[in-house]
Every structure is written in structure tokens, then in C-alpha cells.
Amino acid sequence: MAHGFDDYRVFISAPGDMDRDRQASYDAISRVDGEVAMPAKILLIPLGLRENSQIEGNRGIVSDNVRWASYFIQLFEDDWGPRELFRKLFLLAIECRDDAQMPMREVVVCLKSAPNESDERVLGWRKELGERADVRVIEYEGQEELQARIEEVCAGWTHELIAAGAGKSSTPES
């Protein structure tokens, strides 16, 4: 669809009961779009799943959406969703980012504080995510902090896109 904007998909992976965090991420992207991206003819398009069950019934389509995304944000507290399929999406995003033929530019992990967590398996996942050197890791307490941090990240992406000449062409990029 020709609309005069260069568009970049941002896949938000939010397993478990992280609806408010997912919404805070969407709100952050919307704010950056309105204040920074759209005036420069750039559009960040957030996408993801609203319910965990959608990943099981539409796994191929969901994976394709990750493959077509330019950015990937992984929210995590204590759950990888049904059959750990959100973990597989995260690993797919890393694979796409590392493939120069794919549009993926960056993968970000947002770890929600879980000071009372005692499940060894969950603690292991959290440690693994927090120690990854190949992704940007953001630790946060609540939705307001998450939204502010995602706004910073998305504004940074937008400024990088502007510096690279995005928004100047008449043909959108995805």
C-alpha cells in the first residue's frame, strides 16, 4: 500500500499474563510514531499476539510475521507460553537478525522484575536472558518504566533510520 511512509514492523513477544506490559509497549511505539517517526515519514508498526493460544493454531503465520519484522521486543517475567513456543519465536528472531538477507535489525529483551521468583527453571531462563551479550537487555519494575524505556529504544531506532535516509523515498520498506 503506497502511503508515503517507510514502514518498519516491531514484533512484540509477550508470553504469559503480560497484557499490561504488551499494551505499554504498544503505547510507547504509538507515542514515538506520533512525535518522532511520522514527522520524518517513518512508521513503526507494532504487531504480536493478543493471546497465548494464537501461537499454537497459527504458528507458521506467527513465525512469518517475525521473519518480516525489522525489530523484535521480547517481554519476559516467568513463562514462555504454551510448549515454550514464545522461546522459539525469540530464537527465530535472533536467527533472522543474524541473517543479512532478513529485515531484522535488532532484538531487545525486557525482563520484568520478579524478586519473589523461586522456580529454578524460571530463574535459569531469566539468568540466560539477562546474560545474553548479543541482545540489548532492559530490566524494569512496572509498566510506566517499561513504556519509558521502550520509547527511548524506538526513538533511537527512528533517529538511526532518519540518519540512514529513511523517510525520503516514496516507496515504503518493510
Mean pLDDT, rounded, of the chain? 92
For 129, other C-beta atoms within 10 Å of its C-beta total: 18
State the Cα–Cα distance between residues 160 and 51, nearest whole angstrom.
Answer: 32
- The pLDDT tens digits of the residues spanning 146-162 come to 999 999 999 999 999 99
Is 171 a member of any domain?
no
- The pLDDT tens digits of the residues spanning 79-126 come to 998 888 999 999 999 999 999 999 999 999 999 999 999 999 999 999
Is 154 a member of any domain?
yes
State the Cα–Cα distance between residues 25 and 146, nearest whole angstrom.
Answer: 7
pLDDT at 2: 56
- The pLDDT tens digits of the residues spanning 27-85 come to 999 999 999 999 999 999 999 988 777 777 788 899 999 999 999 999 999 999 888 89
Is 94 a member of any domain?
yes
Is 56 a member of any domain?
yes
Is 76 a member of any domain?
yes
The range of the structural domain enclosing residue 64 comes to 6-115+125-163
Q: What is the pTM of this model?
A: 0.92
Residue 97: exposed, middle, or buried by beta-carbon count in 10 A (0-12, 13-18, 19+)? buried
Compute the average pLDDT of residues 132-154: 97
Is 62 a member of any domain?
yes
pLDDT at 47: 95
pLDDT at 26: 97
Is 148 a member of any domain?
yes
Give the model's confidence band at 173: pLDDT under 50 very low, under 70 low, under 90 confident, else very high: very low
CATH number of the domain to which 142 belongs: 3.40.50.2300
Number of domains in the chain: 1
Is 40 a member of any domain?
yes
For 91, other C-beta atoms within 10 Å of its C-beta total: 12
